[in-house]
Structure formats: C-alpha cells, structure tokens
Amino acid sequence: MQKIRSKDPLTEPKHIAAFEKRQLLEFQRQITAVQGIAFCFPYKFNYPWPEEAIALWENDQITLGRCGNANACVVCTSEKMARHRKMAELVCDDWVNAGGSVYWQRLSLQNSSEHHTSEKYDLLKKTWSGMARLTDFKNARSTAGEPQFCRVIEEVLTIHGWYPHFHVLWLFDSHVTDEQAATYLDKVILLWAKAANKISPSLALAEAQHTEWKKLNVARGTVTNYLFKHGFYDLSFEAAIDDPYTQSLSPFQVLRVYFETGDIKLRCFFYDFERSCSNLRRVKFSVRFPKPSCWPLVD
Ligand SMILES: [Zn+2]
C-alpha cells in the first residue's frame, strides 16, 4: 500500500485545526489509559500526518480506524460534537424562522473537592432526573408549552478539581411569550436547587450561583459552537497559562498544557477525566426535540 502522505502545506484553518488535533492525539497516545484511544488512528491519505503517526504506520504497529470515544478522544470527540453542532444549528435556525424562541441555561451544583469526579457527574444526572420527577416541574413545563431541550455536559478545571455542569438549550413555541419563558426558566432554577437539596444539603446552591439563563439571538454558528465546544479545537488557544486552575481550561486544553509544561498534576487531572467520563452520555436531546429538515448532511 502507498504510504506517502500529501505534503501540501496547511493553509485553511480547518485543515490546520485537524492537523493540530491529530498532533494532540499523538501526545495523548503516549499517556492514555484508555485502550481504544491508544489504537485510534484517524488519518486520511490526502492529509498530512504528524510524524509520530507516520512512524507507527511504517512500523505496521497500528491499523487504520477510529476509536469512537465521544468524551476523551481528541479527534473522535471533536467529530461527534461537530455533528451535534451542525444538527442543532439547523434546528435552531428553523425554529426561530418559524417564530419560536431559543434560550440557554446553565445548571450546576456546588463544586467540592470532597467528591470524586465520577461522583460529580452522577450527582448532576441524579439532580436532573430528580427535578424531572417533580410535579411542579411537569406543571411548569406544561404551562410553558412543553419546551424541548438539548442538554450538554461541560467541564472545566478549577481549584476544586473538575467542575462538570449542564448547558441546556430550551426551545419555546411561538405562542410562548418572553415573560412566560422567563417565568419557566426562573422556576427551573428553583426546582433544580430543590432537587439538589433533596440529594444532599451540601449541594445547596445560592440561587444565582452558577445558574443563569438568557435568550439567544440565534446567529448561525455562534450558539452551537459554544454549546458543543467540548472537543472543539480552538486555534486561538495560547500556551501562556499563568494558573491552569483559575483559567477554566477544558480537558483537552489541560492535556495540551500538560504536554507544553510537563506539569504532572495536569496529567493526573487528565487521567481522572478519562476515567470518570468513560460511560458518560455527553449530549441528551428531549424525546420530541425537532429534527432538522435536511439530515443527515452531506459535507
Ligand atoms: Zn478516537
């Protein structure tokens, strides 16, 4: 088989980003504890490959294929989130064009280093399902015209370790006024806190803490890029990090800073992330979340 890759210079941002992601994957391969990621080999023949990938291929140490890990593989996560992003973008456009409105809401819990990272994910999911069971929640949702939602987990590194939280897109029908939507979203904050406190008083939230919402002016790409940024490779990300624990770094940013600085604590945090999110469903759509009119997309 021909093993010579294209040497075309990388000029387009998307190609540069694709190359950088694969470079980071090669770094990740050196330390990952997740077998699938160690064997992920997502290289097309017409794109330049990082030198590490070329060496592996030439030594016949690996076969072509993707691991499909949608949480912790730099490349596969990015691809998966890009598909979600495209779909949500089409849906939001259609929705607003039809007179509906789109709101964003963040829901989170007290972030404490007393909880392991996997516990933090569990507590988030339990709080959501606890809230969904509340009669008050069902009533509020019914009053607001059964808004559909897309819920995404995001995490950043803090001085208390990983801080996972939810970002939620709510889609309200055209007959729902801004005032009714606001009433609903305020109610969700209260019911979220109620559900959290049922699980443990230590999860109690100050009402406005890390829990907010706003109406979105749906400009193509901006909202959905934000919502699905886990795995999204930010080319503007710079290596100059004064303090990684106060700069809200995402897991892949932590990975990158680890390789740039050799800070072993960051490597431990990334290991912790890989382990803790192994069975995580990062994106959840409500049952009747609208489907885009043209899907699947052909790139
Ligand atoms: Zn992969």
Q: Structurally, how many domains does the chain consist of?
A: 1
- Residues facing residue 152 across a β-bridge: 167, 283
- Would 53 be classed as within a structural domain? no
Quick one: pLDDT band at residue 1, thresholds 50, 70, 90? Answer: very low
| Span from the CA of 40 to the centroid of ligand 1 (angstroms) | 5
Least confident of 38-42, 122-126, 292-296: 292-296
Q: What is the CATH number of the domain that holds 190?
A: 3.30.70
pLDDT at 299: 43
Residue 131: inside a domain, yes or no?
Answer: yes
In the reported structure, the alpha carbon of residue 53 is separated from the centroid of ligand 1 by a whole-number distance in angstroms of 13
Determine contact, residues 10/20, Cβ cutoff 8 Å.
no
What is the 123 CA–ligand 1 centroid distance (Å)? 27
Confidence of residue 236 (pLDDT cuts 50, 70, 90): low
Q: Is residue 291 part of a domain?
A: no
How many CA within 13 A on the CB side of residue 204? Answer: 3
Decide if pLDDT at 291 tops 50.
Answer: yes
Of 253, 252, 228, which Cα lies nearest the Cα of 240?
253
Residue 205 domain flag:
yes
Query: If DSSP codes are grouped into helix, strand and coil, which group holds residue 173?
Result: coil
Residue 198 lies in a domain: yes
Point out the least confidently predicted range of 94-103, 198-207, 262-271, 282-291: 198-207
Using the mean position of ligand 1's atoms as its centre, give its distance from the Cα of residue 223 in Å.
25
| Domain coverage including residue 125 | 80-230+272-285
Of 44-53, 181-190, 229-238, highest mean pLDDT: 181-190
Find the 265 Cα to ligand 1 centroid distance in Å. 24
- Interval between CA 69 and ligand 1 midpoint (Å): 5
Report whether pLDDT(130) > 70: yes
Edge-to-edge order in the sheet of strand 283-285? 212-215, 101-107, 161-172, 148-158, 283-285
Does 127 score more than 70 pLDDT?
yes
In a domain, 6, yes or no: no
- Ligand 1 centroid distance, CA of 26 (Å): 11
* C-alpha 39 – ligand 1 centre gap (Å): 8
**pLDDT confidence tier of residue 295, bands split at 50, 70 and 90:** low
**What Cα–Cα distance (Å) separates residue 291 from each residue in 63, 170, 252?**
36, 15, 30
22 CA distance to ligand 1 middle (Å): 10
Structure confidence at residue 298 (pLDDT): 47
Let me know if residue 240 belongs to a domain. no
Residue 294 pLDDT more than 80? no
Average pLDDT, the chain: 86
Provide the pLDDT confidence category of residue 136 given band limits of 50, 70 and 90.
very high
- 0.85 exceeded by the pTM? yes
What is the Cα–Cα distance from 6 to 4, expressed in whole angstroms?
7
Residue 244 CA, ligand 1 centroid: distance in Å: 25
Domain-located, residue 11: no
Return the minimum-mean-pLDDT range out of 104-118, 177-191, 242-256. 242-256
Amino acid identity, position 295: W
Among all chains, which residue has been given the structure tokens 């994910």?
121
Residue 42: CB partners within 8 Å, gap ≥ 6?
22, 25, 65, 66, 75, 76, 79
pLDDT tier at 5 (50, 70, 90 boundaries)?
Answer: low
User: In the Cβ-directed half-sphere of 171, how many Cα atoms lie within 13 Å?
Assistant: 24
List, as own/partner pairs, every contact residues 194-201 make where C-beta atoms lie below 8 angstroms and the sequence separation is at least 24, other chains included: 194/131, 194/134, 195/127, 195/128, 195/130, 195/131, 195/134, 196/109, 196/123, 196/127, 196/130, 198/130, 199/123, 199/126, 199/127, 199/130, 200/123
